[in-house]
Amino acid sequence: MKIHVVFQSYRDHSCVSMKVAGKKIYWFYLFLSFLFQAVTVVVGKKASMYMEQFRFSTIVSNPYYLLVLVCLVFQAFFWQQTLKYLYLSYAYMFMALLYPVILFSGYLVYGEHISGCNIIGTGIIVSGVLILVRSA
């Protein structure tokens, strides 16, 4: 596998982009970071529902809580890899897209109610991210 390191200007929103077989790998790192963060939030709710009392023994015996910790480790690793190649201000905008994922995950997994205000607010957030990405 050939790895090429390409230096790009500030206008391209990356300090260094690594190309593996002609593809920019930082988008993959960003996606994995996003995915592990979303799983952390959804499973974190399950972990809180599973614990009756907040004690050390219930934490270490809670499989959902342990899964949250594992996901956080992976999320931190992939986030650091993302930040090696993208500016923080640019990469973090994409993390705001967690709002619709979490909103609909709550509905699908836990049967939580979604109001019109939830959808409008999430739409405003996503629109803002799209405006920032296009203008950057």
Q: How many CA atoms lie within 13 A of 60 on its CB side?
A: 2
pLDDT tens track for 68-103: 999 999 999 999 999 998 888 888 888 888 999 999
Which residues, at least 6 apart from 83, have a Cβ–Cβ distance to it below 8 Å? 91
More confident residue, 55 or 28: 28
pTM for the structure as a whole: 0.75
Over residues 30-61, the pLDDT tens digits come to 999 999 999 999 999 998 888 877 778 777 88
Q: Kindly report the average pLDDT of the chain as a whole number.
A: 83
Q: How confident is the model at residue 136, as a pLDDT?
A: 66
